[in-house]
Amino acid sequence: MSVSLTESAANQIKKQLEKRGKGIGLKLGIKKSGCSGYAYALDYADELAENEAVFEHFGVKIIVQEADLPVVDGIEVDYRREGINAAFQFNNPNVKATCGCGESFSV
């Protein structure tokens, strides 16, 4: 199983954690949502639970619940600026379809 970050995403996560003043990394998960089935859920991680896996890139930890790993295995999290907009982008090889608005996906 693998989850990776681009250098741009790692730098953004570092900035957010420094601004927040605490946290061990970023928690990446999935939730049932939208018309296609799943949506990504991001949150700060302050501690590690037994049922979570840790992946580290560019000095930043990404924490994923083991139950979510089959859906996000192989994902690359990127952070991109396009004009005045900036957002995390998810390059997930498991995605088979997305909804029209781009908020949800199916595997």
pLDDT in tens, 22-43: 999 999 999 887 666 788 899 9
User: DSSP H helical segments within 1-107, as ranges?
Assistant: 7-20, 69-72
Q: Which residue has the tokens 């949150």?
A: 43
92 or 60: whose pLDDT is higher?
A: 60
Look up the pTM and report it: 0.85
- Encoding tokens for residue 26? 């970023």
Using one digit for the tens of pLDDT, what is the confidence trace for 62-89?
Answer: 999 999 999 999 999 999 998 899 999 9
pLDDT of residue 39: 85
- Encoding tokens for residue 104? 């949800």
Mean pLDDT value across the chain: 88
Distances, alpha carbon 72 to alpha carbons 14, 22, 84, in Å: 22, 25, 28
